[in-house]
Structure 1
Amino acid sequence: MKIPIIQVGKDKDFSQHLKTKVHHVFVFIQVFEREGGIQSYVKDIFRAYLALNEPFYAEVFLLRDSPSCFNPFESESLKFHYFKSKSPLLERVRMAMALLFHLLRQRPQHVFCGHVNLAPLVGLLCQPLGIPYTVMTHGKEVWQPLPTSIKSSLQKAAQIWTVSRYTRQVACAVNQLDPNQVKLLPCAVNGNDFTPGTKSTALLERYGLTKTKVLMTVARLWSGDIYKGVDVTIQALPQIADVFPEVKYLVIGRGDDQPRLAKLAEDLGVGDRVIFAGFVPTEELAEHYRLADAYVMPSQEGFGIVYLEAMACGVPVLSGDADGSADPLQDGKLGWRVPHRDPNAVAAACIEILKGDDPRCDGQWLREQAIALFGIDAFQKRLKEQLLSLVNSP
């Protein structure tokens, strides 16, 4: 099943008849003072919102960001309120009071809650005022049974947005949600930032990758995130090296699990093949992706924006086979999906990729598919469709 690019032509006449501004409210935990998949997703929402050319106006409440943060989205269409404090309790109380006063005075048409942990607060304030709200979900945070207060807030929401079919399926099953209530707004990739290109000679020399086959992963190396599969890929390296003796594995990311991973590589005799690059700024990621002959992350993801980033750079990808990565990989049409804790399956797939005979190794085709299905334009169309459907709903 493919994720379609939504066509919004049928809404064109309707949107032209919006005589006055539609007032929205967005509520997020933190967007600008932390980097991560959720933060990138929210910034794409802001970017798309500003490009909609519709009579939409939103006020954005940010629990843990401060006014000093760099925010390129402040505009006539997006106004931001910051509540970061040294006291978590104080910042939450301040935001709750400000949000309540805003809802009472302005009566926005819709409120968008950016995380399930904020859903009870948003639901508590919106429900008595008859203001509909939508809750955004992203992945693992809704894969397990939620506390009663959060579950109730989700069940009473006008809509729930999520990034993948898998997350919709699991969240509905374990939290008794109506699947018809859950709408898909998948992650996006910026095709201008992530582009194909030649391997950087400077980076090849920096990491000792000259004349090698390069596997790569971009992931947090936290002990609580072993599901990312870096350890499984390390376990697969001896088999891969039997076929490709020049193979090396570049791991980008940082965290407290790195010593364990480094020891695992040493114990398996592949310590010299694993390079821990540490943290790489977002603006340097594309140049690093271009070093890879294969992007390998046999993980369990809510979606997996990194797969899109790699494909946009023309790099073939490998993911797990029981998670939200089914959407960016289009159920295997655009990449290899393997059992996420199976080193043998990872090794076999990596060997196929490095041989380069499979059509899924065609970098230009991969990029075209990724941008067509999940580029910023496609994301903007989906967002517009969702927002107009809410305006048009009873």
Structure 2
Amino acid sequence: MNQNVKAPAPDIFVFLEVFSSEGGIQSYVKDILKAYVSISAGTAEVFLLRDSPECQNPFASTLPTIAPKLKFHYLKTLPPSLGRLRLAITLLRCLLQQRPRRVFCGHIKLAPLVELLCRPLGIPYTVLTYGKEVWEPLPANYQKALRQADSIWTISRYSRERACAANNLDRQAFQILPCAVDGDVFTPGEKDPAFVEKYGLAGTGVFMTVARLWSGDIYKGVDVTIRALPHLLQKYPEVKYLIVGRGDDQPRLAQLAQDLGVADRVVFAGFVRAEDLPAHYRLADAYIMPSQEGFGIVYLEAMACGVPVVAGEADGSAEPLLDGKLGWRVPHRDPEAVAGACMEILKGEDSRCEGVWLRQQVLEHFSTATFTFRLKQLLDL
């Protein structure tokens, strides 16, 4: 072997946090890393501003064949400002020493730093955007970092249009990489009797939402679905609404159900472990979230389990629902429209209720294999 052959320059990923919290962004990032290591012959340095070495990192702990391709830098420090300084110093040293092919900036909050360090060195960078973090006018230095980027990735047409309108960005700079669903994890199946008993769902039609119940996230539409129940119960008195998630908005939602006289029809499941989530989807006769999403990976998860879905009509859910081909899209603050869609699902006469077909369509368009292929195209590998 020729010892003088220089190893190829690595890629660099810079994220806020990936393993110390759960959410749509974290799930999306993990999918990107998994796909990256499956298609790239090189290595990557991964900088994690808010993660610590003690976090549960499946790439390092359970995927040893992947770990050598990814070198993780854990930079969580108190106070947080010190962590940002550590990130700047460590990242600059890596840029100078290794001269990477490109840098992937995993959050808009990190974009000004990445732009500041990469541009003088002539290193191209890509900014990954997800949803509402770029839907409002950003500070001037954030906008500059986006305009100077070699490319901007986002998850849907809707997110691209919102970001462009708010920040006067060029649509041509964007490339779309939709979310993915793991069809080996989210599968159809019988309702788990233990969960049916736990939540008192025997003999009922079940509607379900998986969402953070934060007061800042009322756009998820959980309150709208609760308001839809009185309309729905007039015709289908045995239905229940299962809400998976936790947060500071739960007391308000519980009071709303009480005030509307439907408290006995609403079940707050609270936090559910990731490994139990597929079994919870299988409890549902329909997944309801009349939201304003950048994309909405939960719709993919539900449909991969063969569950029909109801989403908002003017958001990024157009992508997972294939512009309404796979599910119902309704005005996101309209309880009567939500109730109407739920009634259609309970009738079961629409092709969008056919679980086998739903799953086949979702995996055709949004499987991890499709996601990997799209990423490979973006990376030009």
Matched, 1:187 2:173: no
- Tell me, yes or no, if the aligned pair for 2:48 and 2:75 is still in contact at 8 Å: yes
Q: Aligned partner of 1:38: which letter?
A: I
Gaps of 5+ in 2: 1-5, 61-66
In 2, the alpha carbon distance for the partners of 1:167 and 1:297 equals 18
Matched, 1:46 2:20: no
Matched, 1:153 2:145: yes
What pairs with 1:98-247 in structure 2 (closer than 5 Å)? 98-247=90-239
- Tell me, yes or no, if the aligned pair for 1:312 and 1:367 is still in contact at 8 Å: yes
2:330 corresponds to which residue? 338
CA RMSD of aligned residues (A): 1.0
- Tell me, yes or no, if the aligned pair for 1:162 and 1:168 is still in contact at 8 Å: yes
Q: Aligned partner of 2:291: which letter?
A: S
SS at match of 2:55: coil
Q: 34, 40, 45: which one pairs with 2:21? A: 34
Deviations along 1:280-311, one digit per CA (max 9) or x if unpaired, are 01110000000000000000001000000000
- Tell me, yes or no, if the aligned pair for 1:22 and 1:55 is still in contact at 8 Å: no
1:55 corresponds to which residue? 41
Gaps of 5+ in 1: 1-18, 390-394
Q: 52, 61, 64: which one pairs with 1:66? A: 52
Deviations along 1:164-191, one digit per CA (max 9) or x if unpaired, are 0001111112211111110001111000
In 1, the alpha carbon distance for the partners of 2:351 and 2:9 equals 46
- Tell me, yes or no, if the aligned pair for 2:45 and 2:70 is still in contact at 8 Å: yes
In 2, the alpha carbon distance for the partners of 1:321 and 1:234 equals 18
In 2, the alpha carbon distance for the partners of 1:113 and 1:107 equals 16
Q: Aligned partner of 1:202: which letter?
A: A
Deviations along 1:142-183, one digit per CA (max 9) or x if unpaired, are 111111010110000000000000011111122111111100
1:98 is displaced (CA, Å) by 0.2
Tell me the TM-score normalized by structure 2: 0.96
- Tell me, yes or no, if the aligned pair for 2:293 and 2:317 is still in contact at 8 Å: yes
- Tell me, yes or no, if the aligned pair for 1:31 and 1:62 is still in contact at 8 Å: yes
Tell me the TM-score normalized by structure 1: 0.93
1:13 corresponds to which residue? none
Higher relative contact order, structure no. (Cα contacts within 8 Å, ≥ 6 residues apart): 1
1:341 is displaced (CA, Å) by 0.3
In 1, the alpha carbon distance for the partners of 2:209 and 2:41 equals 41
Count of residues in correspondence between the two structures: 370
1:50 is displaced (CA, Å) by 1.6
In 1, the alpha carbon distance for the partners of 2:124 and 2:373 equals 22
After the TM superposition, which segments of 4 or more aligned residues of structure 1 sit over 4 Å from their partners? none
Q: Aligned partner of 2:205: which letter?
A: K
In 2, the alpha carbon distance for the partners of 1:166 and 1:288 equals 29
- Tell me, yes or no, if the aligned pair for 2:9 and 2:98 is still in contact at 8 Å: no
- Tell me, yes or no, if the aligned pair for 2:295 and 2:317 is still in contact at 8 Å: yes
In 1, the alpha carbon distance for the partners of 2:168 and 2:98 equals 33
1:273 corresponds to which residue? 265
1:87 corresponds to which residue? 79
In 2, the alpha carbon distance for the partners of 1:260 and 1:72 equals 36
Q: Aligned partner of 1:107: which letter?
A: R
What pairs with 1:374-389 in structure 2 (closer than 5 Å)? 374-388=366-380
Deviations along 1:308-334, one digit per CA (max 9) or x if unpaired, are 000000000000011100000000000
1:257 corresponds to which residue? 249
1:20 is displaced (CA, Å) by 6.1
1:73 is displaced (CA, Å) by 1.7
Deviations along 1:57-88, one digit per CA (max 9) or x if unpaired, are 11000000011112122422111000011210
Q: Aligned partner of 1:334: which letter?
A: L
- Tell me, yes or no, if the aligned pair for 1:251 and 1:275 is still in contact at 8 Å: yes
In 1, the alpha carbon distance for the partners of 2:160 and 2:215 equals 27
Deviations along 1:219-262, one digit per CA (max 9) or x if unpaired, are 00011100000000000001111111110000000001101100
